[in-house]
Amino acid sequence: MSLGYAEKLSFIEDVGKVGMTEHFDPPNVLQEKVERLATLIRKSKHLVVFTGAGISTSCGIPDFRGPKGIWTLQREGKALPEASLPFHRAMPSLTHMALVELERAGILKFVISQNVDGLHLRSGIPREKLAELHGNSFMETCPSCGAEYLRDFEVETIGLKETSRRCSAKKCGAKLKDTVLDWEDALPTKEMNLAEKHCRMADIVLCLGTSLQITPACNLPLKSLRGGGKIVIVNLQKTPKDKKASLVIHGLVDKVVSGAMKSLNLQIPPFVRIDHFQINLTHALSLDKKFVNWTLRVASVHGQKAPLPFIKSVEISFLDREDYKAANLEKEPFQLKRRTVQSKSFEMVLKLNFSEGCGCPSIEMNIPVDFTVPTDCFNLEKNAILQELRETAIEESCCGQNAVIERRVVLNPKCEETVYAVVTNIVRHSKTTKVLETDSLSNGNVKRRLANGSETSRKRSKGHKRKSLS
């Protein structure tokens, strides 16, 4: 989990059991259990998955209670673990993407998560089929109209506090709030009601990577038992609910899920991350009307003051204009102010240098400038463009593809805002591409490989608070 998130939580003395012993089923036992799990999934009519921090450790996000978890190390007086990637660049694991395929196949009906890392949404799980019980570090919500805003940066607060942004819905404009719960915050009623509903309907509740200690969330899977459903637990540590489960698997979640998907003859899809940014060009004539004063800004689509975390710097040069000085923008806001002759058009080359964790170092874009503000605004078929970008990125096995998805024109002051989508990461989990070592169920370490070749090794509805112990 995000170390920033852990530091923002209010201090409580008792966070439950930490540093518990990890157990690994022998290979032959693990294989047999995985086959049983695959059979249960195959026969399931209403599969619900309940996830905890253990499904995100392979994404480079530390957990809380494991041997090297945040709270374990804190209690031992040791230095906190270091994430292998910035939190905002963490990408869905094999398990996240397997759940996407199960949902697309019509097998998985609902996902309940205690995680705040936002990876289920980013992976492609539909929002209406997901309950994030403890919130989402990348989500803001409007308390007035209920609108939700998924960000590409970590929201600065937790505890359902007001943030620095406002709702952009027409006739609203209320101040937004973060969605992440602190210890004493009540679980969101809507999320909890949906979670309870689907657990009661479930014939299988598959618990992945959770110690099942945080109440009341940990009691949700038990609701399936009343209707004859079964609980399956996949976790390295023993949990307080093991005795209630029909099947307990002690193994790495990615290994177990990979084996089950193989038995089900289901392919785990690649993950393609697409980020958005906008280029704003504002201009006005000088008083003598001989020159144009213009400003170029590379900005976030979430607002002028919002951070743009995946872009490290912007280099600007000019084609066929040796008299125009190049620029290197190394800090936000990425903004260039210039004065040029009013009658002359030119072409800029923008090199966007990406931050750590992106699958390619940079992209270059040619931007023609003639200071003739078009009157046409357009909003292209975003879904079709994004799907084409994904397919191209997968086919070419590289990042950097980009396309315009929207253009807005403001006449006073004269400004053209162009929104771009760009592929910044591809992660494959298919064994046929030799990028994931899943040939054996030996409970060893799982490696995943990025397209660029690098390796990456609380609460109830109103009146019920999040507690640390079962």
pLDDT of residue 367 exceeding 80, the answer is yes
First to last CA, the chain: 20
pLDDT of residue 422 exceeding 90, the answer is yes
The whole-number average pLDDT for the span 319-341 is 91
Q: What's the pLDDT tens digit per position in 168-192?
A: 998 999 999 999 998 888 999 999 9
Largest CA distance in the chain: 84
pLDDT of residue 52 exceeding 90, the answer is yes
Residues of the chain with CATH 3.40.50.1220: 6-137+180-268
pTM as predicted: 0.87
Percentage of the chain lying above the pLDDT 70 cut: 81
Q: What mean pLDDT is reported for the chain?
A: 86
360 has binding-site annotation? no
pLDDT of residue 353 exceeding 90, the answer is yes
- CATH number of this structure's domain 6-137+180-268: 3.40.50.1220
Nearest to 271 by CA among 393, 360, 153: 393
Q: How far apart are CA 290 and CA 357, in angstroms?
A: 45
Question: In this predicted model, which residue has the larger pLDDT, 469 or 131?
Answer: 131
142 has binding-site annotation? yes
pLDDT of residue 349 exceeding 60, the answer is yes
Q: In this predicted structure, what is the pLDDT of residue 440?
A: 43
Q: In this predicted structure, what is the pLDDT of residue 144?
A: 96
Q: Which of 153-157, 305-309, 329-333, 368-372 has the lowest mean pLDDT?
A: 368-372
The whole-number average pLDDT for the span 293-309 is 94
In the CATH hierarchy, which top-level class contains the domain 272-427? mainly beta
145 has binding-site annotation? yes
Residue 245, token pair as written in the block: 């489960």
Q: In this predicted structure, what is the pLDDT of residue 341?
A: 85
Q: In this predicted structure, what is the pLDDT of residue 323?
A: 84
Q: In this predicted structure, what is the pLDDT of residue 436?
A: 35
Q: How far apart are CA 136 and CA 116, in angstroms?
A: 4
pLDDT of residue 450 exceeding 50, the answer is no
Which residues are CB-neighbours of 382 under 8 A, at least 6 positions away?
A: 405, 406, 421
Per residue, the 3-state secondary structure of the chain, as one string, reads CCHHHHHHCCCCCCCCCCCCCCCCCCHHHHHHHHHHHHHHHHHCCCEEEEECHHHCHHHCCCCCCCCCCHHHHHHCCCCCCCCCCCHHHCCCCHHHHHHHHHHHCCCEEEEEECCCCCHHHHHCCCHHHEEECCCCCCEEECCCCCCEEECCCCCCCCCCCEEEEECCCCCCCCEEEECCCCCCCECCHHHHHHHHHHHHHCCEEEEECCCCCCECHHHHHHHHHHHCCEEEEECCCCCCCHHHCCEEECCCHHHHHHHHHHHCCCCCCCEEEEEEEEEEEEEEECCCCCEEEEEEEEECCCCCCCCCCCEEEEEEEEECCCCCCCEEECCCCEEEEEEEECCCCEEEEEEEEECCCCCCCEEEEEEEECCCCCCCCEECCHHHHHHHHHHHHHHHCCCCCEEEEEEEEEECCEEEEEEEEEEEEEEECCHHHCCECCCCCCCCCCCEEECCCCECCCCCCCCCECECCC
Q: What's the pLDDT tens digit per position in 6-29?
A: 666 665 655 556 657 889 999 999
The whole-number average pLDDT for the span 394-421 is 91
pLDDT of residue 371 exceeding 60, the answer is yes
Most confident stretch, 2-6, 63-67, 195-199: 195-199
Nearest to 47 by CA among 270, 272, 257: 257
Residue 96 a catalytic site member: no
Question: Of 46, 134, 276, 302, which is the active-site residue?
Answer: 134
Residues of the chain with CATH 2.60.40.1970: 272-427
DSSP β-bridge partners for residue 363: 352
Q: In this predicted structure, what is the pLDDT of residue 342?
A: 76
pLDDT of residue 455 exceeding 60, the answer is no
Question: In this predicted model, which residue has the larger pLDDT, 441 or 328?
Answer: 328
pLDDT of residue 94 exceeding 70, the answer is yes
Q: What's the pLDDT tens digit per position in 265-274?
A: 999 999 999 9
